[in-house]
Amino acid sequence: MAALPNSPLVSVEEYLNTSYDPDVEYVDGVLVERNVGDWWHAIVQLNIGSALKVRFRHLKVATELRSQTRTTRFRLPDVCAVSRAPEGVYLAEAAYLVVEVLSKDDRMSEVLEKLDEYRQNGVANIWLFDPRRKLMFAYRKGTLVEVIEDTIRTEDGEVWLSRSEVFAE
């Protein structure tokens, strides 16, 4: 995740009214490219989004939806779930659940910074998955905790996924 080369500062309005291919995150006026997922990243992202959408019909599930974490920051969580669809084209309120899937080129310090932004914005449930090592983590109270059980759950226990369905090939 690095700033686009030779990228001038961009206003929030310009970012929100511009399509980028692939889409980029917006951090304090700078366009930040994401590590585009490889096969395993894509499969895990699809598995999570599909399972959440099918099993928890009361939630609205989206992938890579522009989500405002601060006034001048927009992130693109791999998967997010909300109780109701956003009123605009991006998510302005905190999601119920945000999921990030590690790419092989992700830097842990940058991933942790992003997870903490979600937490500070009020996201109650933050999950991180490592598709290569088949590891599951919950980010709770500023700490990344490995989930060693076969099931990862939200804090309220209402939403859950099994390790086998997340990492199914």
pLDDT for the residue numbered 6: 57
Residues 133 and 168: their CA atoms lie apart, in Å, by 13
Residue 33 CA: distances (Å) to CA of 20, 49, 78, 95: 10, 22, 14, 22
Rounded to an integer, the average pLDDT of 7-19 is 90
What's the CATH number for 35-166? 3.90.1570.10
**Percent of the chain scored above 70 by pLDDT?**
95
Rounded to an integer, the average pLDDT of 57-78 is 96
Residues 54 and 3: their CA atoms lie apart, in Å, by 36
pLDDT for the residue numbered 4: 54
Q: How confident is the model over 75-128, as pLDDT tens digits?
A: 999 999 999 999 989 999 999 999 999 998 899 999 999 999 999 999 999 999
Residues 102 and 99: their CA atoms lie apart, in Å, by 10
Residue 129 CA: distances (Å) to CA of 92, 105, 150: 24, 14, 13
Rounded to an integer, the average pLDDT of 59-79 is 96
* Secondary structure (3-state) at 116: helix
Contact assessment for residue 131 and residue 100, using Cβ atoms and an 8 Å cutoff: no
Residues 68 and 34: their CA atoms lie apart, in Å, by 16
pLDDT for the residue numbered 108: 93
pLDDT for the residue numbered 7: 63
Q: How confident is the model over 33-55, as pLDDT tens digits?
A: 988 778 999 999 999 999 999 99
Count H helices, E strands: the chain?
A: 4, 13
Q: How confident is the model over 119-153, as pLDDT tens digits?
A: 999 999 999 999 999 999 999 999 999 999 999 99
- Domain residue extents for the chain: 35-166
